[in-house]
Structure 1
Amino acid sequence: MEDIEIPQYFICPISLQIMKDPVTAITGITYDRESIEHWIFQAKNTTCPVTKQPLLIPTDHCSDLTPNHTLRRLIQLWCTQNAVDRIPTPKPPLTKCNVINLVKNLRFPNLQLQTLRKLEVLSIEHERNRKCMVEAGVNKAMASYLVNCHEKNETTGIEEALSIFNLVRSSTSEVKALVSANDDRIIEALVWVLGLDVSNFVTVKSHAVLVLKTIIGKASSSVLERLKPGFFKMIVAVLKQGISQQGINAALQIMLDTSPWGRNKITLVESEAVFELIELELSFPEKKTTELILGILFHLCSCADGREQLLRHAAGIAVVTKRLLMVSPTANDRAMLILSLVCRFSSGSYLVSQEMLKVGTFTKLCIVLQSDSPSYLKDKAKEILKAHYDVWKDSPCIEVTTLKEVYYSCR
């Protein structure tokens, strides 16, 4: 094919390849459908790549991209005449009506798995398909399917349904409607999935916790306030089950989103969440994971039982201290707030003061004062140093002059 001159108007201006499915935009320029749709829907561009004129794509996503059937036939004829692999006739774009008809097949048990697999392929295939599936209410159908599986204790098709739910993103209003329509049963169904013993549990449970993160992240406060203890026990258990890193971060995000509520906080502590979070942090996770863990620990340490669990763990204070100034500004804020909470409610405890001294908290706080950290972090560091002055001033491990300088600077 290197010796064959390809007509210039057969070449897509974006991909610079022979067009398979030429479509003409409202600006009059013809592109290969895959390239121009990627330009519009995934790269989020709103202008024509060639003319730089606006591309006004309406809600049905594709009506301003007109198929150029004549050019496609010319390309196919030219390929045949020049012994070039024939360009296949493109499939017609997926429509909302196509999706609705597919979803209707879920009513028939013998067609359910086949239908779910077809929907999954379509959702993976193209962003255009996913937008069309959103309009057709696919996630509502997936939620109903998962609820029915839970009620009937059937596991067939749950992996595909969860995969589709993750790929076809719902808006906040749609998620709230899903929870309301199912009377929280979708949350119960997802918790049930997390407790299943299935062969491909890593994939299934990772998908389930990602869906749950989406729902919890967009749920109303009334939904978050009525979550049951079993919900939190299962989320904590997920951290120990060896799921994907993405799944672990999703579980942590769920905990972070739900922990500000008082009853949820207590339930998480009762579920031994503090211990599991510290153990997870000791495995040296990625930055995002550390930020999430410290954020949750801050909320849990705002109650007495949470602080008691942190102090009971041999590495509790140590791991928080170590992460200070080592990960990110967000992690710095959260680590300092945890230390501040522990200090505020345990400043009279000799054992806590000795523990903080032993694991290097004093040294790290002094480094904060000498660094270019924000002033509010330095103020928190001074508060902690001042609160423990009476114990630390008698320690042979500390330069008394340094401690006195810090102490008098805080007055």
Structure 2
Amino acid sequence: MELMRDPVTVTTGVTYERKNIEKWLFVYNKFTCPATMQRLPSFHLTPNHTVSRLISSFVASFPSPPPPPPPTPFSDRRKVDQVEALLCSIRTGPFKSARLKELRSVLAGDANLLDDVNVSSKVLECVIAEIVNSADFVGFGACEEAFGVLALLPLSDKATVDVVVKPEHLRPIMAVLQSGSSDARVDAMSILVKISKVNRDHWIPADQELDLFTALLELLSDEISSSTKLSLCSLDLLLELAVRSRRSRSRAVEAGAVRVLVELLPEAGRRSCERALLLLKRLCELPEGRAAFAEHGLGVAAVTKKLLRVSETATKLGVKVLWLVSSFSAAGKVAEEMVVVGAVSKMVTLLHAAGGSSTKERAIAMIKLHGGVTNFHIIRFQLHLLYIFL
């Protein structure tokens, strides 16, 4: 009598050793439960974790070494063989696009197969080679299907990420972000999101940052990226990059991030709006960011329009952006624009808010700061309201 190494339960509720029940079902082609002889409505095998824990506890009570890990299930071995055959066909044969599409179908939804280190490493090597070989033809099917396969892989360890972020491998990803189909862009974005989570500080070489900023900003600006998912992923990646260092934020400004974010705001939904304002706030903490915002003809108006209309978070972030910019140019163009577009009126409205929040304090500071802008009758009226509320 042997202890079970991989207990699984069939649909009748009876538990068997996996290799034995798989041989019964798939080798002998039986359709019944061996113990009850009831016909099985499906061949689904559920791991019995309770029995596994009991066996592990029993084995642990003896000084003998633990049993070896369970072998690859019979059903999984067939898929592994299928994957290896497809990889061979992709490397050596024609119709690469069709083979890659078939490979993607085999891998999709099979967590066990994707978690198999041996399988995933072979798939990674193959699809990276196809992506590099097709880098000049990003609009064609084989390269885009290869991105679809790569997006399925876990990409959860540093060794794998180090392969993906090599300059010769990153360039095709950024090219697809800029000029690929909508589906390929989603796949490329998924790849970047995964690798950014493995090493938040150094997931992309410094000399590749500007190119990546440019690709992400072009994606935000492009009409094809109007889907919420793509926009949110782009903003999340831009935020990830922006928090790395002052140099990263400076490169974002250099790539035109302030202009793109300002022009994104008017049509942005709540989540995109909040992310765009958060990124604007971080960029406006730099002198070059504030200068780019002040130079944009719609910057003040776009942020003001979102105050008190989107969410409390958006209002707080919008006030912080205006406060950062106006604090360094109170007597100039920004102060006058704030009066003209109604920003000061909204600051006065914020004074009705209960409590002493930092947002309210910044609103008061901005109205006082703009007291020197006397060319407009409205500012004097609003200052009068301020002293009433104070």
TM over 0.5: yes
- Percentage identity across paired residues of the two chains: 21
The corresponding residue for 1:47 is none
Task: Give deviations 1:336-376, integer Å, cap 9, x for gaps.
Answer: 22112112211232x32221122222222233332257722
- What does 1:63-74 correspond to in 2, within 5 Å? 67=22, 69=25, 73-74=31-32
The answer for unaligned runs of 5 or more in structure 1 is 1-24, 33-49, 56-61, 80-85
The corresponding residue for 1:291 is 274
SS at match of 1:161: helix
The corresponding residue for 1:13 is none
Report the residue type matching 1:226 in the other structure. Answer: D
CA RMSD of aligned residues (A): 4.1
The corresponding residue for 2:115 is 131
- What does 1:204-219 correspond to in 2, within 5 Å? 204-219=184-199
The answer for unaligned runs of 5 or more in structure 2 is 1-5, 46-72
- What does 1:8-407 correspond to in 2, within 5 Å? 26=7, 29-31=9-11, 67=22, 69=25, 73-74=31-32, 93-95=75-77, 97-98=80-81, 99-100=83-84, 102-110=86-94, 112-132=96-116, 136-137=120-121, 138-139=123-124, 141-150=126-135, 155-179=140-164, 183-196=166-179, 201-222=181-202, 223=204, 225-241=206-222, 242-243=224-225, 244-260=227-243, 261-283=245-267, 285-349=268-332, 351-372=333-354, 375-391=357-373, 395-396=377-378, 398-405=381-388
Would you say the 8 A contact 2:11–2:42 is kept in 1?
no
Structure 2: distance between partners of 1:142 and 1:29: 36
Structure 2: distance between partners of 1:150 and 1:248: 24
Structure 2: distance between partners of 1:386 and 1:151: 57
Q: Structure 1 residues 291, 141: closer, same or farther in 2, change over 3 A?
A: farther
Structure 1: distance between partners of 2:169 and 2:317: 32
Report the residue type matching 1:278 in the other structure. Answer: V
SS at match of 1:371: coil
Structure 1: distance between partners of 2:197 and 2:309: 28
Q: Number of matched residues?
A: 344
Q: Structure 1 residues 168, 274: closer, same or farther in 2, change over 3 A?
A: same
SS at match of 1:136: helix
Q: Structure 1 residues 303, 157: closer, same or farther in 2, change over 3 A?
A: same
Structure 2: distance between partners of 1:370 and 1:286: 26
Structure 1: distance between partners of 2:201 and 2:323: 28
Q: Structure 1 residues 64, 275: closer, same or farther in 2, change over 3 A?
A: farther
Structure 1: distance between partners of 2:290 and 2:311: 23
Residue 170 of structure 1 and its aligned partner are, at CA, apart by: 2.3
Residue 302 of structure 1 and its aligned partner are, at CA, apart by: 2.2
More helix by share: 2
Residue 281 of structure 1 and its aligned partner are, at CA, apart by: 1.6
Residue 120 of structure 1 and its aligned partner are, at CA, apart by: 0.6
